[in-house]
Homo-oligomer: A and B are copies of this chain.
Amino acid sequence: VKNNIVENMRIGRMADRFLKAPHRINAIHEADAELIDLGEESDSVLALTTDALVEEVSSGLYDSPYFIGWMLATINFSDLAAVGADLLGLVISVSLPEEQSEEFVIEMADGISGACNEAGTFVLGGDTNEGKTLLLSGCAVGLVPKNSVLTRKGARKRDKIYLSAAAGLGSVYAFLRLFQPGKKLPESFYVPKARIKEGQLLRNFASCAMDTSDGVFHTLDTLMRVNRSRFVLFNEWEKILHPAALEVCRAEGIPPWLTLASVHGEFELCFTVAPEKEKDFLSEAGRIGWHPIPIGEVGDGWGVGVQTAERQIEVDTGSIRNLSETAGSNPARYFSELLALAKETGI
């Protein structure tokens, strides 16, 4: 808790220069999307987010044009899912090098379109430029009913912590792509979906929510700070982690929980539900065929812990987050420092 988050400092040094918008409901870092009051006549709040694909493309982590397009839309929709928005759509800003093939551009557009279709929404427009490198930025908009706005803030002691589905796939995808580039992964190995329907249901049940796009520990760290409380994770890795993630961990000798610590996540929603709402929540979720995974509980104090049968182990999630800033551009160094942190932890 003591450490400063480098990412937040970088955002802060710009944000400090801006006046606070009086009609923005959320404070900085307190929601996945910006929540804008539309005035008294409106029953809805505007939800708005922008996200770019930069290192994922330049590092080769995302290389198929369809997948690049899919991810550009999904990273933006996922932020709206985390505030429980009904989607209005996406605008995109694309800069294409002159030599980029027609085929690449069309497949990328199909990927964007595919992710829109999956989320039940549309491309509303955009801007294309010619540039020296491929640049991709998106902005998604949606509406949230004024009386059920969902943010990262609102968790209380004894709330149960959930994931919308098992995690760890984004992390092992990045591991395999960066360290075993020859290995052919099936196209379907990692195809994240924005949890739109789930987020809409959470409006009525969750006390806070955030997506796991930067990894589960990153999310827990943020939620713990925003809510000034303690997020305790159960050590039930077989339940929390995706089977494919567990398999890779076994084969490579990586501690399974480490897949939750890496900065490349998987766009699940991490959220808290008050004990008195849990039964109704699970019953409503079941109705839409959704089986959220309980992963922990909000406890006393601050920080992030892992509960084993014997004791509660402290996880220095601040340092884990900062690793991606200090070593993130060098995958080998990032991974070895992450392993070193894991050993210190003793989970």
Contacts and interface: CB of A to CB of B under 8 A. Distances in A.
A24 interface: yes
Nearest to A24: B124
Contacts of A126: 11, 14, 50
Contact of A135 (B49, B52, B92): B52
Given A36-B124, A54-B131, A18 B139 contact: no
Given A55-B130, A105-B13, A130-B55, A48 B18 contact: no
Contacts of A108: 14
Contact of A55 (B43, B123, B131): B131
Interface in A92-121: 92-96, 102, 105-106, 108-110, 112-113, 116-117, 121
A345 interface: no
A14 B125 CA distance: 10
Interface residues of A, number: 71
A33 B124 CA distance: 10
B141 A46 contact: yes
A128 interface: yes
Copies of this chain, how many? 2
Contact of A34 (B43, B50, B124): B124
Interface string A40-76: 0111101011111011001000000000000000000
A318 interface: no
A249 interface: no
A45 B19 CA distance: 26
15 contacts: A14-B105, A18-B109, A19-B116, A19-B122, A19-B123, A20-B122, A21-B89, A22-B122, A24-B124, A36-B124, A36-B141, A46-B46, A49-B91, A52-B135, A139-B139
Given A24-B89, A52-B95, A52-B127, 10 more contacts: A10-B130, A11-B128, A21-B122, A28-B125, A34-B91, A36-B89, A50-B93, A50-B125, A55-B129, A130-B325
**Ranked 5 nearest A-B pairs via Cβ:** A21-B122, A139-B139, A17-B109, A137-B137, A34-B125
